[in-house]
């Protein structure tokens, strides 16, 4: 239990920030799953839209500080290289 007004405020901020981070993380994970499923289906033209959406979500999460920028870049790179691999076939 918070004993000071500042501690109560920090607790409120933590709750709000945690909810926001959880929401962003969830949307990122969903977008990445959709992109990977589209790539696994094998159609490069159909997979380009979910890959672009996942890339956008990852960049947004990285800019908000929810995901580390290098982690977001790494996942984006892996998804885009997988898309390029099926497009080359």
pLDDT in tens, 53-73: 999 999 999 999 999 999 999
CA atoms within 13 A on the CB side of 7: 4
CATH number, domain containing residue 11: 1.20.58.110
Domain count, the chain: 1
What tens-digit pLDDT sequence spans the chain (89 residues)?
Answer: 789 999 999 999 999 999 999 999 999 999 999 999 999 998 888 999 999 999 999 999 999 999 999 999 999 999 999 999 999 87
The Cα–Cα gap between 83 and 7 comes to 48
Return the closest-CA partner of residue 61 out of 32, 38, 35: 32
Q: Token digits for 82?
A: 């997988």
Residue numbers of the domain that contains 37 = 5-87
Residue 35's pLDDT is 96
């Amino acid at each position: 239990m918070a004993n000071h007004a500042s501690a109560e405020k920090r607790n409120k901020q933590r709750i709000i920030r945690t909810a926001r981070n959880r929401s962003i993380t969830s949307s990122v994970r969903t977008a990445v799953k959709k992109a990977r499923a589209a790539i696994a289906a094998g159609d490069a033209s159909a997979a380009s839209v979910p890959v672009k959406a996942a890339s956008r979500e990852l960049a947004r999460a990285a800019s908000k500080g929810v995901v580390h920028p290098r982690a977001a870049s790494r996942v984006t790179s892996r998804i885009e290289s997988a898309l390029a691999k099926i497009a080359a076939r």
